[in-house]
Amino acid sequence: MLKFPKWFYKWSDDNPTDLKGPGILAGTVASAVAIATIIVVYDNPNRTTDQQTGPRGIGMDVTKFVRDNPQYDPYEESYVAFPRVEAPEGTPTAAEAYGDSVVAFGDMDQANFDRLQEAMSAWVGTKVVLYDDGEVDETTLAITKNCVEATQYLNDSWDTHNLASDGRGVNCYTCHRGEPTPPGAWFKAGAVNSAAAGWAAVQNRVMVGNTYTQSNFTSLPVDAVEKFLLDGNSIKVHDLESRVAQQPGDPTWQDAERTFSLMNHQSNALNVNCVYCHNTRAFYDPTQVTPQWSITTLAQQMTIDINQTFYEPRSEVLGRESGKVNCMTCHMGVVSPLNGRDMVAEWPELAAPVE
């Protein structure tokens, strides 16, 4: 037989007709038990996870809700791997089968050469051929060759960042994500009109399409990635001097705002905040940065290199501006693109050095 506490019986004797009080109490207790049960069974829906990025005690940690799964790349679910095929004995090489028009992988057997073309077509969302098949034009073939060389260059010359030798690396899908134009590509902002060729032409602008990541809908400059990740301008604009007597048009102010815009872009590209790289009490002190700061600095140099080496010169081949890369192009909102998947396992030729 269920027995209640003594206080309940005493209260009931003193208040024989008052059922509201015990009803509220019973409901409150039942609700608390139900909520506790849900939390235990289904986990706390507001549970957070912390990533410590610096010394403990100074607030250098990144906190996010676990429900947001902040470092999961959903694009991996759409990635299709194309394993190599067993080439029959006597299969000719691609160069032997298709002649001198082959722009890459001429030494590969024809069976796997065709298979790689099939894979690349799926990864970029449009037909890819690596030789003159009578339908492809010279410009498209030249761009395809440029893309292959850029991929190999990234995996070989910048292996310290792309980790191709450590089982990661990049292939066409890393940037393209199944689309002919990578969703994270960017183009130069340019001046609004001839009368706005100065500083105002790159602020307070809503950049539509893929380029919104340049200013993240703020009034900050939209040419930050152009200046820092293409032109290679110095990002080191912070000092301890007062700017009170100077006007907003001062170059140091302009570059500082560009730096804020770039940092905004990088934070969104990796879904992290300032303390991922910096000790926010001393942005100016390079001795108090985190290890991630060095990785990011290396990535900035890599991006400048490949933009200048491959993507900017490509504009001359296209006859128009070519899309370029920044942090978002590969990372797409996570620290480890495609959840760290090995993107060159089946096709190590994509990690071969450019001859």
Q: For residue 351, give the DSSP letter.
A: G
The confidence score (pLDDT) of residue 85 equals: 95
pLDDT, one tens digit per residue, over 188-203 is 887 766 666 566 677 7
Q: How far apart are CA 100 and CA 106, in angstroms?
A: 9
Residue 331 marked in a binding site: yes
Q: How many CA atoms lie within 13 A of 66 on its CB side?
A: 8
- Residue 211 — very low, low, confident or very high, per pLDDT cuts 50/70/90? very low
The confidence score (pLDDT) of residue 10 equals: 77
Residue 274 marked in a binding site: yes
**Superfamily holding 184-331:** Photosynthetic Reaction Center, subunit C, domain 2 (1.10.468.10)
The confidence score (pLDDT) of residue 49 equals: 77
Q: How far apart are CA 193 and CA 298, in angstroms?
A: 36
Mean confidence (pLDDT) of the chain: 84
Is pLDDT of 91 > 90? yes
**The two three-digit tokens of residue 140, written as one number:** 């498209």
CATH 1.10.468.10 domain extents, the chain = 184-331
The confidence score (pLDDT) of residue 284 equals: 77
- Residue 162 — very low, low, confident or very high, per pLDDT cuts 50/70/90? very high
The confidence score (pLDDT) of residue 213 equals: 56
Residue 172 marked in a binding site: yes
Is pLDDT of 244 > 80? no
Q: How many CA atoms lie within 13 A of 213 on its CB side?
A: 24
Residue 277 marked in a binding site: yes
**The two three-digit tokens of residue 353, written as one number:** 């050095």
Q: For the packed helices 138-157 and 291-306, what is the interaxial angle rounded to 10 degrees?
A: 150
Contacts for 247-250: CB closer than 8 Å, 24+ residues apart = 249/199
Cβ neighbour number for residue 96 with a 10 Å cutoff: 13
48-52/61-65 β-pairing: antiparallel
**The two three-digit tokens of residue 159, written as one number:** 């292996």
Residue 265 marked in a binding site: no
Q: What is the mean pLDDT of residues 245-250?
A: 61
Residue 147 marked in a binding site: no
Residue 327 marked in a binding site: yes
Residue 238 marked in a binding site: no
Residue 161 marked in a binding site: yes
Q: How far apart are CA 47 and CA 64, in angstroms?
A: 9
Contact 309, 153 (CB under 8 A): yes
Q: How far apart are CA 130 and CA 81, in angstroms?
A: 19
Give the lowest-confidence range in 40-49, 111-120, 158-167, 208-217.
208-217
